Amino acid sequence: MTELSKVSVTALKGVGEALAEKLAKVGLENIQDVLFHLPLRYQDRTRVVPIGALRPGQDAVIEGVVSGTDVTMGRRRSLLVRLGDGTGSLSLRFYHFSNAQKEALKRGTHLRCYGEARPGASGLEIYHPEYRALTGDEPPPVDTTLTPIYPTTEGLTQQRLRQLCQQSLGLLGPRSLPDWLPLELARDYQLAPLADAIRYLHHPPADADVEELAVGHHWAQHRLAFEELLTHQLSQQRLRESLRAQRAPVLPRASRLAAQYLANLGFAPTGAQQRVGNEIAYDLSQPEPMLRLVQGDVGAGKTVVAALAALQALEAGYQVALMAPTEILAEQHFVTFKRWLEPLGIEVAWLAGKLKGKARTAALEQIAAGAPMVVGTHALFQEEVKFHNLALAIIDEQHRFGVQQRLALRQKGVGGQLCPHQLIMTATPIPRTLAMSAYADLDTSVLDELPPGRTPVNTVLVADSRRIEVVERVRAACAEGRQAYWVCTLIEESEELTCQAAETTFEELTSALGELRVGLIHGRMKPAEKAAVMAEFKQGNLQLLVATTVIEVGVDVPNASLMIIENPERLGLAQLHQLRGRVGRGSAASHCVLLYHPPLSQIGRERLGIMRETNDGFVIAEKDLQLRGPGEMLGTRQTGLLQFKVADLMRDADLLPAVRDAAQALLARWPDHVSPLLDRWLRHGQQYGQV
């Protein structure tokens, strides 16, 4: 019997070219895809519920007799049908109706309906129910299984998807859909057979536990989630192996340059910086490529660690590239590395997307000729950038770059033969749960110690009705010689509107605080303008900086000790934590005011409460993951890796240790099962293992 992964959806009855195109939009190209296209939720149409027992918000099948029909003229004209069954009564409300429909729903008609009961003007109501009139003595039978609701796209009805899944289930057999989890493995981890889980999830029986299915804790979901997580793990193990199999330049530990650098630094590295520095130094001295993620909370001194790694490659005579996701951050790194490296006689080159014409050509020539230290944005990934002998790539704020871009660096290694070492830094602490699966191909180091002299930031919540008091607080702080940030965010994701809001706030604050020098920075300004404003603020010529979230990463002004964040409820916790990290960088007591707009939702209150309680980025990241889910945590570009069909990283976190062990076992004992699994689950995602 042919494997269903090799049978096109056009083999199903009623699927022509047009429908096949629509199915392809939701990733359904073959019959195996259809079987793995699982319901999002279920409706229970297996029993008729007495009207008297209905709860608000419940979807249910009800039966009753029409006791009256009226056209009511509220804000919109609607048809209201009263229905009773002896245990109680409710109303059916239709906003779109015809005369014929009104006639058909006359008094005395016996109806069976399905819909969601909601509190309405006349007690419980069902808006636009599905319904049919019942005639004769025998009512039609109810469904014997729960009704699946599938993920869909425009032009694909639930009815059509149900028919296709029904047909596909008819073709399901042990040889047509092989179970790639060996029996021994399935037994060890108590996993049900694949076909049983798929059949169950498309058609749960009438007595299925709907609650359990809704929260994803059912044995059938567990079986598929395990296989999906296992496949992601395998894909990353494969990626890691293919990278590890490559050769990298061996970089002996630096002595001369590192000693000079530390002597000029003016402070001793923390214990955590020394520990992580040693882990990196060891990796760089090995002949296979380093793949290390350094997580450090805001202000933990990741850049010092990066500089020590760079010096190890530079002393060995190789090139180093440092990449940052935004021009502001890249320029800051450029300025910092120039300040640190030029006294050591090391040239630092710059490349960003905004460099054009002759300046760009000159920069490309400088890099190709072997400029030792190159700093830039992701422009460094571009095809025409040729390095002379790149041995180390340092990537800041990795979650802003996709895995694919990280891999593009491979081709830029020494003579195209040796693969550069990679050091990835992030100030967005990644919860362990996420790191185990999203970054399974990386070794992880954590900078868990703040440099001495840093002060924890005191965070307060203030309703925006007290805005005038907050403005006075800014005035007082600046009068004492401190500096402040005022961050504007907007509910619209539109950059244009956020910039307009920042401009309006800038004008308001400039007139309210006439004696202060106020600056403005937002995403629509040219990089040179942004850099000029930042430089003014850094030098203390501006006392208050009104900004959008462009200042989220890397801005270091030790004299700034007050930050106001407007509408903080609209930002993710990780982003709030990043913003807050711009203050508390000096020795003065620092404050962050979260100026929220009441009333706050339950989640809003919880999230802002977490910000007030802790300055620990890892605690915040764990909470953020629970509240927002993994896709958002890692930023959209990274989520190719987290578009799970069945699994959910938070819900299934307890499976991850077992999944990692199972992945090792599969690679060691059943390596020929790996490719079919990758093909089944990741065909449409990024195929990490085969880049």
The CATH number of residue 339's host domain is: 3.40.50.300
Alpha-carbon dihedral angle through residues 300, 303, 308, 312, given to the nearest 10 degrees:
140
Question: Does residue 464 share a domain with residue 426?
Answer: no
pLDDT band at 490 (very low <50, low <70, confident <90, very high): low
Cut 0.75: pTM above it? no
Q: Which of 41-55, 188-202, 289-303 has the highest mean pLDDT?
A: 188-202
Question: Does residue 473 share a domain with residue 405?
Answer: no
Question: Does residue 488 share a domain with residue 442?
Answer: no
Our count of domains for the chain comes to 3
Question: Does residue 324 share a domain with residue 282?
Answer: yes
pLDDT number for residue 638: 37
The CA angle 302-382-284, to the nearest 5 degrees, is: 40
Give the whole-angstrom CA distance, residue 488 versus residue 507.
Answer: 13
Question: Does residue 443 share a domain with residue 464?
Answer: no
CATH number at 104 reads 2.40.50.140
Task: Determine the average pLDDT of the residues in 214-227.
Answer: 91
Q: pLDDT tens across 631-658, in order?
A: 444 443 333 345 677 887 778 878 888 9
Give the whole-angstrom CA distance, residue 81 versus residue 70.
Answer: 7
Task: Determine the average pLDDT of the residues in 193-222.
Answer: 90
Residue 158 lies inside a defined structural domain of this protein:
no
Our measurement of the distance from residue 492's CA atom to the centroid of its chain's CA atoms, rounded to an integer in Å, reads: 19
In this predicted structure, the answer to whether residue 400 has a pLDDT above a threshold of 70 is no
Q: pLDDT tens across 278-289, in order?
A: 999 999 999 988
User: How many other CB atoms sit within 10 Å of the CB of residue 190?
Assistant: 11
pLDDT number for residue 102: 87
Question: Does residue 589 share a domain with residue 535?
Answer: yes
pLDDT number for residue 570: 79
Give the whole-angstrom CA distance, residue 581 versus residue 305.
Answer: 19
Q: Which of 153-162, 367-376, 482-491 has the highest mean pLDDT?
A: 367-376
Q: 576: burial class by Cβ within 10 Å (0-12, 13-18, 19+)? A: buried
Q: pLDDT tens across 70-97, in order?
A: 888 877 888 989 999 989 999 999 988 8
**621 close to 571: Cβ distance less than 8 angstroms:** no
Residue 241 lies inside a defined structural domain of this protein:
no
pLDDT number for residue 636: 35
Residue 147 lies inside a defined structural domain of this protein:
no
**364 close to 355: Cβ distance less than 8 angstroms:** no
Q: Which of 25-39, 372-386, 541-555 has the highest mean pLDDT?
A: 25-39
Residue 495 lies inside a defined structural domain of this protein:
yes
Residue 296 lies inside a defined structural domain of this protein:
yes
Q: Which residues of 504-536 are buried (b: 16+ CB within 10 A; e: fewer)?
A: ebbeebbeebeebebbbbbbebebeebbebbee
Question: Does residue 371 share a domain with residue 262?
Answer: yes
Our measurement of the distance from residue 79's CA atom to the centroid of its chain's CA atoms, rounded to an integer in Å, reads: 44
Give Cβ neighbours of residue 2 (< 8 Å, ≥ 6 apart): 176
In this predicted structure, the answer to whether residue 530 has a pLDDT above a threshold of 60 is yes
Q: Which of 572, 565, 490, 564 is nearest to 523 (CA)?
A: 490
Amino acid identity of 555?
Answer: V
**191 close to 219: Cβ distance less than 8 angstroms:** no
Alpha-carbon dihedral angle through residues 242, 308, 274, 426, given to the nearest 10 degrees:
-60
Task: Determine the average pLDDT of the residues in 600-604.
Answer: 82
User: How many other CB atoms sit within 10 Å of the CB of residue 115?
Assistant: 20
Question: Does residue 443 share a domain with residue 351?
Answer: yes
pLDDT number for residue 573: 80
Q: Which helix (H) or strand (E) holds 60?
A: strand 59-73
State the chain's mean pLDDT as an integer: 84
Residue 244 lies inside a defined structural domain of this protein:
no
Question: Does residue 421 share a domain with residue 304?
Answer: yes
Place of tokens 């293919």: 242
Lowest mean pLDDT across 11-25, 454-468, 546-560, 572-586? 546-560
Give the whole-angstrom CA distance, residue 100 versus residue 110.
Answer: 17
Residue 117 lies inside a defined structural domain of this protein:
yes
pLDDT band at 244 (very low <50, low <70, confident <90, very high): confident
pLDDT number for residue 61: 92
In this predicted structure, the answer to whether residue 554 has a pLDDT above a threshold of 60 is no
Helix/strand/coil percent split, the chain, to 5: 45, 20, 35
Question: Does residue 489 share a domain with residue 597?
Answer: yes
Q: Which of 163-177, 310-324, 452-466, 651-665 has the highest mean pLDDT?
A: 310-324
In this predicted structure, the answer to whether residue 343 has a pLDDT above a threshold of 90 is yes
Structure tokens at 591: 């404050």
pLDDT number for residue 633: 44
Picking from 428, 447, 466, the residue at the C-terminal end of a domain is 447
Residues of the chain above pLDDT 90, percent: 30
554: left (phi over 0), alpha (psi -120 to 50) or beta: left
Structure tokens at 541: 């010529």
pLDDT number for residue 320: 94
**54 close to 113: Cβ distance less than 8 angstroms:** no
pLDDT number for residue 640: 37
Q: Which of 55, 12, 49, 43 is nearest to 30 (CA)?
A: 12
pLDDT number for residue 421: 92
pLDDT number for residue 225: 93
Question: Does residue 406 share a domain with residue 309?
Answer: yes
Alpha-carbon dihedral angle through residues 253, 255, 260, 263, given to the nearest 10 degrees:
90
pLDDT number for residue 555: 65
Could you give phi then psi for residue 592, rounded to 5 degrees?
-125, 125
Q: Which helix (H) or strand (E) holds 89?
A: strand 89-94
Q: 126: burial class by Cβ within 10 Å (0-12, 13-18, 19+)? A: buried
pLDDT band at 417 (very low <50, low <70, confident <90, very high): confident
Picking from 67, 99, 133, the residue at the C-terminal end of a domain is 133
- Provide the domain limits for residue 393: 256-447
pLDDT band at 613 (very low <50, low <70, confident <90, very high): confident
Give the whole-angstrom CA distance, residue 99 versus residue 101.
Answer: 5
Q: pLDDT tens across 183-203, in order?
A: 999 999 999 999 999 999 999
Picking from 133, 149, 184, the residue at the C-terminal end of a domain is 133
Q: 371: burial class by Cβ within 10 Å (0-12, 13-18, 19+)? A: buried
In this predicted structure, the answer to whether residue 493 has a pLDDT above a threshold of 70 is no
Higher-confidence position of 50 and 529:
50
The CA angle 575-429-601, to the nearest 5 degrees, is: 40
In this predicted structure, the answer to whether residue 691 has a pLDDT above a threshold of 50 is no
Q: pLDDT tens across 126-170, in order?
A: 988 888 888 877 778 888 888 898 888 777 888 889 999 999 999
Question: Does residue 312 share a domain with residue 400?
Answer: yes
Q: 143: burial class by Cβ within 10 Å (0-12, 13-18, 19+)? A: middle
**363 close to 349: Cβ distance less than 8 angstroms:** yes
DSSP annotation of 36 reads T
pLDDT number for residue 407: 61
pLDDT band at 319 (very low <50, low <70, confident <90, very high): very high
Higher-confidence position of 294 and 585:
294
Place of tokens 């807050």: 580
Residue 107 lies inside a defined structural domain of this protein:
yes
